[in-house]
């Protein structure tokens, strides 16, 4: 919804790349990589926020959040910091989902070149677009590109392919010939676009990751000497990293960037290898100090936590430890998949959704209410689905009752009062 009303924004402020300003809370937002999750939070994840994602006992859907978050960061040219004790952080980086329209522009170019050749071979222009559509579907190409089927050969195609060829063929829209061409390229493929499209069936190009090496910092907690105070050490490392001019909130440098921090499985048993008695306050203090740090810089942190090991699961939220951590986080989300449910749900539900998505706390940075436009009832009635290619969050609603009854089978069903077999006889 566009309105003529413009919020007064300090124009001297340098805005970090790939961010936008929320129209509701005036907070700086970055994308989580999951459009439906961004939408839920009112446009994106606020910069300076600390997000807790509670893992599900039986599945690893929560990890997807982290991967999307990191992928999006890399694609939009931001810096990432991945911290893990359970997994090797390199594994996380190497298994990121592939971007459909992203920085891998070279690949797209290559593909389009190949396609050009294909097209030249194929003389039958009538069939061509249709065939293409089919081919795309087979090849797991983006859904967006399927749109091309709708355009006839003679119109300007909004997609990027073959722009040079097409130019000479403009017939209907000759008036617009000189206008700069509408180009999806610049909008979606630019390295600092807000939100990209990801494809879970693909992995991010290793070449691309290699080229981003300087943006990636990995910390493997298990490599550290476990007798050290890992929380203080980790905090100091993050603090050092955030001292860079890029992330500070002054206007010394022209280019600002956002540091995305992902902590994988925070507070899993691997985080307390050294101390035999679990030092609860240490973790709270770490998160609290981290939050202060995040607020004062351009950075954002998301962490997943196996809360089930602290007796915090589907039916019992009794862990006081997790409660305390929740209080210090800005945003708390719980993934609750249908796996392992005591009473299995109907097949109709499970084929649509993979589990519930619980919102426990929403970010209210510098405001009393979160910037969501969703109604309270919808907010607490969400489920997630993980399709082959994408992960998304939707309102949970039960499918229509589709029982195969006599009536549907076309069996005899008398609607009238009389016993005669005429259907409309009263």
Partner 1 sequence: MYIPIDSVIPNQNGKSILITDTVFADASFLINHYLSKSIKNKEENILLMSFTNNFIQYESIQKKMGNNLKIYKDTEKLNFIDANLISPSGDVNLKILFQKIEELLKESSFESTTIILDDITHLLYIEYPLNEILDFEYKCRKICNMYNCDIIVRIHKDIGDDNDIDPISINHSQLLNYLMNSYEYIIETNELESGYTDDIQGQLSFARGVTCTQFDFNPRLYHYKINENPAYSKFYAKGLIEGTV
Which residues contact partner 1 by CB under 8 A? Answer: 280-281, 284-285, 288-289, 292, 295-296, 311, 317-324, 326-328, 332, 360-361, 364-369, 375-377, 379-380
- What is the nearest approach in angstroms of partner 1 to the Cβ of residue 270? 20
- What is the nearest approach in angstroms of partner 1 to the Cβ of residue 75? 30
Query: Three-state DSSP class for 174?
Result: helix
Of the pair 284, 308, the CB lying nearest partner 1 is at: 284
- What is the nearest approach in angstroms of partner 1 to the Cβ of residue 267? 14
- What is the nearest approach in angstroms of partner 1 to the Cβ of residue 4? 21
- Helices 280-296 + 230-242 axis angle, to 10: 0
Of the pair 230, 294, the CB lying nearest partner 1 is at: 294
- What is the nearest approach in angstroms of partner 1 to the Cβ of residue 27? 10
Closest CA to 103 of 20, 29, 196: 196
Of the pair 366, 407, the CB lying nearest partner 1 is at: 366
| Interatomic CA distance for residues 324 and 16, integer angstroms | 32
Of the pair 173, 398, the CB lying nearest partner 1 is at: 398
Of the pair 71, 299, the CB lying nearest partner 1 is at: 299
The number of beta carbons lying within 10 Å of the beta carbon of residue 323 is 12
| Interatomic CA distance for residues 264 and 192, integer angstroms | 25
Closest CA to 260 of 50, 119, 58, 405: 50
Contact 222, 85 (CB under 8 A): yes
Of the pair 200, 364, the CB lying nearest partner 1 is at: 364
- What is the nearest approach in angstroms of partner 1 to the Cβ of residue 324? 5
Helices (H) and strands (E) in the chain, counts: 15, 14
Helices (H), 217-311: 230-242, 280-296
| Interatomic CA distance for residues 132 and 135, integer angstroms | 5
Would you state the torsion angle of the CA atoms of residues 245, 250, 251, 256, taken in this order, to the nearest 10 degrees?
A: 50
- What is the nearest approach in angstroms of partner 1 to the Cβ of residue 321? 7
Of the pair 112, 367, the CB lying nearest partner 1 is at: 367
DSSP at 317: B
Indicate the length of the chain as a whole number.
Answer: 426
| Interatomic CA distance for residues 49 and 268, integer angstroms | 22
Contact 15, 294 (CB under 8 A): no
Of the pair 100, 301, the CB lying nearest partner 1 is at: 301
202 phi, psi to nearest 5 deg: -110, 160
């Amino acid at each position: 919804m566009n309105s003529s009303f413009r919020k007064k924004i300090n124009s001297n402020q340098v805005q970090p790349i790939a961010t936008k300003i929320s129209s509701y809370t005036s907070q700086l937002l970055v994308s989580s990589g999951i459009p439906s999750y961004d939408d839920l939070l009112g446009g994106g994840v606020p910069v300076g926020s600390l997000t807790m994602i509670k893992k599900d006992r039986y599945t690893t859907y929560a990890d997807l959040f982290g991967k999307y978050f990191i992928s999006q960061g890399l694609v939009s040219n931001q810096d990432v910091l991945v911290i893990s004790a359970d997994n090797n952080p390199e594994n996380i980086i190497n298994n990121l989902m592939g971007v459909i329209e992203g920085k891998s522009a070279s690949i797209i170019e290559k593909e389009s070149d190949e396609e050009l050749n294909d097209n030249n071979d194929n003389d039958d222009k009538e069939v061509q677009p249709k065939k293409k559509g089919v081919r795309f579907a087979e090849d797991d190409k983006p859904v967006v590109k399927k749109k091309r089927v709708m355009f006839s050969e003679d119109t300007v195609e909004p997609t990027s392919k073959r722009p040079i060829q097409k130019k000479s063929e403009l017939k209907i829209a000759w008036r617009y010939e000189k206008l700069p061409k509408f180009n999806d390229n610049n909008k979606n493929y630019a390295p600092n676009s807000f939100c990209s499209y990801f494809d879970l069936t693909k992995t991010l190009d290793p070449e691309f990751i290699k080229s981003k090496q300087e943006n990636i910092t990995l910390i493997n907690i298990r490599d550290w000497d476990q007798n050290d105070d890992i929380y203080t050490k980790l905090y100091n490392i993050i603090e050092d990293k955030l001292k860079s001019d890029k992330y500070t909130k002054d206007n010394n440098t022209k280019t600002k960037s956002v540091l995305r921090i992902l902590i994988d499985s925070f507070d899993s048993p691997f985080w307390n290898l050294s101390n035999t008695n679990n030092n609860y306050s240490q973790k709270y203090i770490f998160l609290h100090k981290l939050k202060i740090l995040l607020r004062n810089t351009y950075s954002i942190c998301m962490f997943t936590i196996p809360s089930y090991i602290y007796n915090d699961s589907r039916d019992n939220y009794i862990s006081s430890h997790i409660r305390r951590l929740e209080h210090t986080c800005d945003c708390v989300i719980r993934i609750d998949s249908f796996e392992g449910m005591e009473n299995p749900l109907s097949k109709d539900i499970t084929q649509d959704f993979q589990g519930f998505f619980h919102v426990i706390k929403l970010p209210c940075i510098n405001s009393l209410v979160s910037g969501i436009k969703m109604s309270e009832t919808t907010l607490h009635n969400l489920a997630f689905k993980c399709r082959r290619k994408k992960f998304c969050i939707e309102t949970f609603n039960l499918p229509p009752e589709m029982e195969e009854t006599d009536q549907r089978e076309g069996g005899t069903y008398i609607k009238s009062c009389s016993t005669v077999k005429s259907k409309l006889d009263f």
